[in-house]
């Protein structure tokens, strides 16, 4: 889960108590802002909130190690507020990718789940005429694409190819969900060594309750 916006840990552990054996919560130091959470049935060997990357302590990252597999839950910054926030977003992308690459040098396999706050390709948003707006600027797309260039796989595109009208976020203001006029800004990337382990990738666009919908993968590891 990303953008939980909770300042207290008392709420999330009560959710799904019967379904999951553990919950990890990284709340923002700014009340009512950002925040991430992970529910799991697996035993975690190591966990970190990566404050070397999330230097503003916004609760943006949960890093969990399961032996040689590292899973990241990430809420990337939104650069839409102003130019300064866009620069923060680009720096976050750069530092996070460098951190992942250091883990790969240690023979770790990587899964990155989260809200990237960027649509990667034209096919990932309904109306490509809005590509001058933040979230789809050339600079943001370039930095997103660096993950692909380094061998990380966009799991949804790997399974579904150029399937159109596949979105994970819709604007409330424009009633975009009803018209399916959205953006695909939620992704699960995997390091290329996991390619043959990937069995499925999906978008659960029928699940409501947010302007986003859940995304997921099935992986044999």
Q: Which of 49-63, 91-105, 125-139, 145-159 has the lowest mean pLDDT?
A: 125-139
Residue 133, pLDDT score: 67
Distance CA 109, CA 209 (A): 32
Q: What is the pLDDT of residue 128?
A: 53
Q: What is the pLDDT of residues 153-190, one digit of tens each?
A: 999 999 999 999 999 999 888 888 999 999 999 999 99
- pLDDT on residue 81: 61
Fold of 12-219: Deoxyribonuclease I; Chain A (3.60.10)
**pLDDT tens-digit map of 180-218:** 999 999 999 999 999 999 999 999 999 999 999 999 999
Instruction: Answer yes or no: is pLDDT of 44 > 80.
Output: yes
> What is the percentage of the chain residues whose pLDDT exceeds 70?
94
23/34 Cα distance (integer angstroms)? 17
Residue 35 burial (CB count, 10 A):
22
**Which positions ≥6 away from 42 have C-beta within 8 Å?**
66
What integer pLDDT is reported at residue 214 of this predicted model?
97
- Enumerate the domain spans of the chain: 12-219
Report the predicted TM-score, pTM, of the whole model to 2 decimal places.
0.94
Residue 115 designated active-site? yes
Give first-to-last CA distance, the chain, whole Å. 22
Q: What integer is the mean pLDDT of 84-113? A: 96
| Confidence band of 6 (pLDDT split at 50, 70, 90) | confident
**For residues 120 and 141, is the Cβ–Cβ distance under 8 A?**
yes
Cβ atoms 89, 140 nearer than 8 A: yes
Task: Determine phi and psi for 182, rounding to 5 degrees.
Answer: -135, -170
Q: Which residue in the list 54, 58, 115, 154 is annotated as catalytic?
A: 115
**Rounded to 5°, angle at Cα 87 from 84 and 90:** 155
Report the alpha-carbon distance of residue 5 to residue 28 in Å, rounded: 7
Mean pLDDT of 22-39: 91
Whether 131 has a pLDDT exceeding 50, the answer reads no
């Amino acid at each position: 889960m990303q953008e939980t916006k909770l300042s207290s840990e008392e709420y999330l552990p009560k959710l799904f108590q019967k379904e999951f054996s553990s919950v990890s919560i990284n709340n923002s130091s700014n009340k009512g802002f950002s925040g991430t959470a992970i529910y799991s049935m697996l035993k975690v060997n190591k966990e970190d909130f990566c404050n070397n990357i999330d230097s503003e302590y916004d609760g943006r990252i949960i890093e969990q190690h399961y032996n040689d597999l590292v899973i990241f839950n990430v809420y990337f910054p939104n650069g839409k507020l102003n130019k300064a926030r866009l620069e923060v977003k680009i720096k976050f992308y750069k530092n996070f990718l460098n951190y992942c690459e250091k883990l790969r040098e240690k023979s770790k396999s990587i899964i990155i789940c989260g809200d990237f706050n960027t649509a990667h390709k034209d096919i990932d948003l309904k109306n490509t005429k809005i590509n001058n707006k933040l979230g789809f600027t050339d600079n943001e797309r370039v930095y997103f694409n660096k993950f692909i260039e380094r061998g990380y796989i966009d799991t949804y595109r790997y399974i579904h190819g150029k399937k159109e009208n596949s979105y994970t976020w819709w604007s409330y203001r424009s009633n975009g969900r009803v018209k399916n006029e959205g953006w695909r800004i939620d992704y699960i990337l995997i390091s290329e060594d996991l390619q043959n382990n990937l069995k499925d990738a999906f978008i659960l666009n029928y699940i409501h309750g947010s302007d986003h919908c859940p995304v997921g993968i099935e992986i044999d590891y």
